[in-house]
Chains A and B, each alone.
Chain A
Amino acid sequence: MAYTLQGETGDWEVVIGLEVHAQVTSSAKLFSGAATEFGADPNTQVSFVDAGMPGMLPVINRYCVEQAVRTGLGLAAQINMTSVFARKNYFYADLPQGYQISQYELPIVGNGTLIIDMPDGTSKHIGIERLHLEQDAGKSLHDQHPSKSYIDLNRSGVALMEIVSKPDLRSPEEAGLYIAKLRSILRYLGTCDGNMQEGSLRCDANVSVRPKGSTELRTRCEIKNVNSIRFVQQAIEYEARRHIEVYEQGGTIDQETRLFDSGKGVTRSMRSKEHAHDYRYFPDPDLLPLVLDPAMVETIKAGLPELPDAKKERFIRDYGLSAYDAGVLVAERASADFFESVAKGRDSKLAANWVMGDFFGALNATGRTIEDPPVTAANLGMLVDLIKDGTLSGRLAKDVFALMLETGKDPATLIEEKGLKQVTDTGAIEAAIDAVMAANPDKVAEIKAGKDKLMGWFVGQVMKATQGKANPAMLNELLAKKIKG
């Protein structure tokens, strides 16, 4: 279902393009040798280059260039063998150079594609306009002093990849899926850690609206620096409704930069950037054009990991998973790897159910991560085997799983220790049924008189008598035979 917003005058469609800033996972900055680690004491990770001191010259970090190429290849994008760094000029307290070194006319990566998977099972191709390398700015703290802002330049000069989508997104939901997918790909590639809380992944949203059915592109507003997927979605929805209201009252939208106030759920104009649209870009005279070595690009291409889309397809094909299950499992490389070690050589659907059900539930409940799981893949695999070969019923397996969580022991040992093995011995089950029937002759009579509902009660009693260990299928069969003859 297409996303539409109802206005007074009719239905409206929203047009969204996203600019994602992804911090490169480098140890040193893009143009200096200062460290990039998050959370250091203020201004301790700043070189004279990052502080914009006169006479300092930028020297590019090779690793950052490689990560940009790697990301471009991961987005099936065109790699530009020659790209140029440009200065984007503006004044701001946390930009000591007075300009940001960025790329303008000739970015390192051109057109690419990202596929988002919609919940209804369809997928949509979202165009990537470009990816370029640029410096991050410093950080301003406004709450340290009544009349001053404090500036920390630790982030100044850190390498960012700005990844710009085409205006192909049509709903807050699609925007959210796009960011999630991009984050997943970046994490698979290892080029950005994707940590939105620490600001390693930030998003600007360009939003405009148009009457449904129209193909025009109206004036857009840019909402800056939104740091969670949920906030991006809220900001887009608010902004789209604001545009509709303005148009329906006969007004016009000015192209402007806006901020999202997550507390109030509104966007508001960012007055300080009123004059910021004229950045006077020009090629940075301190830097030669960036010319890539074709051998380097080939090496990176050869070393690309299997990416989420390919992995998902393989999981559907090789493990017989549903598209939804495969999508959930491949979102994080670690979950996909974990699933594969559980599923390899086993009943893969059963393995997927256990990984996505009880195991993911246990991760949430214990606050542990897939890198440090409360139950190892080997032990979970063993549990799947024990269910498959009939040693454990589904219900017993849940009990064993709870014990595995508690003790960290493997299921075979636990079954041995606690005597939890499923009873598949006909004689033993029959004996238990006989005992229950003997103790409840009145109920037996009722069933024989046609009160079938009581069968369930008998199953429960026998299960209780066998501590849940009776094989359910055998129990049902034997019970029916005995009571009804």
Chain B
Amino acid sequence: MSLDKSAVRSIAELARIEVPEEELDHLAGELSNILTFVEQLAEVNTDGVPPMTSVAAMALPMREDRVTDGGYPDGILANAPGAVVLRDSPQAPAQGGFFTVPKVVE
């Protein structure tokens, strides 16, 4: 399988990666090579073989419906640039707060 320039452009856009126009051809070639390499797997006959979802033979573990987490807005917002933290005084623990991002208007 090979990818053309416009496919690479749209993948880059979906992934929010800025790719200069002059690099598109080169990337299309590289990505096509990767896909061709992976396609070798299709040579194996998998008729009647169920898809393997895990190397460990186990069922999806489940959790009970109990509140065991959360309540640390300070921690959640610690590394967020421009976060607005709400607290009663500078020493008080956060009562909550917001991440802030450039305005998204619909």
**Of A26, A28, A148, A280, the contact of B103 (CB 8 Å cutoff):** A148
Point out the residues of chain B lying under 8 angstroms from A289, CB to CB: 53, 60
Taking Cβ atoms with an 8 Å cutoff, the residues of A that contact B are 26-28, 32-35, 40-51, 59-65, 84, 89, 91-93, 140-142, 144-145, 147-153, 259, 270-272, 275, 278, 280, 283, 287-291
B66:A28 contact, CB within 8 angstroms: yes
A152:B98 contact, CB within 8 angstroms: yes
**Of A46, A141, A280, A291, the contact of B76 (CB 8 Å cutoff):** A46
**Of B65, B67, B104, the contact of A272 (CB 8 Å cutoff):** B104
How far is the CB of A232 from the nearest CB of chain B, in Å?
A: 18
Given A141-B98, A142-B103, A149-B103, CB of A44 within 8 Å of CB of B65: no
How far is the CB of A237 from the nearest CB of chain B, in Å?
A: 21
B70:A288 contact, CB within 8 angstroms: no
Does any Cβ of A come within 8 Å of B49's Cβ? no
How far is the CB of B77 from the nearest CB of chain A, in Å?
A: 6
**Of A27, A62, A288, A291, the contact of B67 (CB 8 Å cutoff):** A27
Point out the residues of chain A lying under 8 angstroms from B71, CB to CB: 44-45
Most buried by A among B65, B95, B104, B106: B65
Taking Cβ atoms with an 8 Å cutoff, the residues of B that contact A are 10, 13-14, 16, 53-54, 58-71, 73, 75-77, 82, 84, 86, 95-106
Given A35-B67, A151-B98, A151-B99, CB of A44 within 8 Å of CB of B73: yes
User: 9 closest pairs, A vs B, by CB?
Assistant: A41-B96, A34-B70, A33-B68, A63-B65, A33-B69, A150-B98, A47-B69, A151-B99, A62-B62
**Of B59, B61, B66, B73, the contact of A33 (CB 8 Å cutoff):** B66
B73:A43 contact, CB within 8 angstroms: yes
Most buried by A among B59, B63, B64: B63
Question: Which residue of B has the minimal Cβ distance to A50?
Answer: B70
Question: Which residue of A has the minimal Cβ distance to B54?
Answer: A288
